Amino acid sequence: MNTYICRYCRQPSDPSAPTCPLCGAPVDIRSSVSDSGWVEQPPVKDMARLQFGQSHCQIAGTTVPVAEFNLAPNDWIYFSHHVLLWTEPNTSLTNMPMRGVWNRKLAGLPLVMVEARGPGHVALSENHAGEVVALPMQHGQQMWVREHRFLTATGNIRYDWHPSGVWYTTGSGDDQETHYPMGQFGDVFGAHEGPGVLLLHSPGNTFIRDLQPGQSLLIQPSSLLYRDVSVRMALHLEYPRNMGFAFWSNRWSYRSIWARLTGPGRVAVQSIFSPPEDTEIITNHSYATTHHW
């Protein structure tokens, strides 16, 4: 009877294997936890194999890892075409229909998904130094993922996308601009047809944390990698006290923009992110908490 629960993917796993066969995390290492409670996600070991259905995925490399799939005849995966690194000629590649092409175009999201069906090999990689994060999903489980972090999913994982609901505007009139610090849309993946595997690419290192009900924390909006759908997120605007610097003539334009995450549920952050750049006055925003120092 297998009673080991992988501390990273939270699924029943094989304690005798060197790596978790579902997510690739090393089994024989101590958990690395910061004083504040962030758990460092260990990188998938070079050449570790993940099993799903009759197929498996092997992770090659550690700087920009490659996910190499050996697909069995009835298994398939889907992905954005720009992550395709190589394929065998006999692997079937077809377009996957997508809804809302115009909105996706406006949001800068990939317009085309590709289905790869076995039998055959196909390999995927992203374009940043970082880690491949595997999230095995049980039947009925859902996960929210920040846009552009999705690498691939098995065919039985349903893909949908929704507005992130986190935004603010600057300027006025013709110069008004709407900003989406967490992306205009978020990807939502659900295992509605049995268990499956979701693979993400996380630039930099990855840290995870479990939030208790009502517990909240502030993070850089673009650092969020994924969250349980039970975790709520909103803007938090923080205005440092103006210490008399004349060139910050308007205290409203000198601020920090945070994402407030509120539990319960699991959240993961990546260590590479892009902070919001502009310092113009915020004229409107989605629901936000505010603090003036």
Partner 1 sequence: MIQCKWCHAQNQPGTTNCQTCGAPLDEADKVSDSGWREAPRLRDMVEFKFSGSTCQVEGELVPVAEISLHPQDGVYFEHHVLLWKDESVPLSSLNTGGGLKRTIGGMPHIVTVANGPGRIAFSRDAPGELVVLPLHPGMELDVREHAFLVASHSVQYSFIRIKGLVNLLHGGNGMYMDRFVTAGYPGMLLLHGNGNVLERTLRPGEKILVEPGGFLYKDSSVQMQAAQMPLKTGHLRHGMYLAEMTGPGRVGIQSMYVHHHAD
Q: Which residues bind partner 1 (CB under 8 A)?
A: 46-47, 49, 56, 58, 60-66, 68, 70, 81-82, 84-89, 93-95, 101, 105, 108, 110-112, 114, 121, 123, 125-129
Tell me how far CA of residue 286 lies from CA of 217, 227, 235, 274, in angstroms.
Answer: 18, 19, 7, 20
Residue closer to partner 1, measured from CB, 66 or 229:
66
Q: How far is the CB of 129 from partner 1 (least distance, A)?
A: 4
Residue closer to partner 1, measured from CB, 96 or 218:
96
The gap between the terminal CA atoms of the chain, to the nearest Å, is: 56
Residue closer to partner 1, measured from CB, 123 or 217:
123
Distance from the Cα of residue 254 to its chain's centroid: 29
Q: How far is the CB of 118 from partner 1 (least distance, A)?
A: 13
Q: How far is the CB of 152 from partner 1 (least distance, A)?
A: 14
Q: How far apart are alpha carbons 228 and 210 in whole angstroms? A: 10
Q: Please give the full DSSP string across 161-230, using - where no structure is assigned.
A: EEE----EEES-GGG-EEE-TT-SEEEEEE--SS-EEEEEEEES-EEEEEEPTT-EEEE-GGGEEEEETT
Eight-state DSSP code of residue 293: -
Residue closer to partner 1, measured from CB, 7 or 128:
128
Tokens of 37: 């409670």
Residue closer to partner 1, measured from CB, 123 or 133:
123
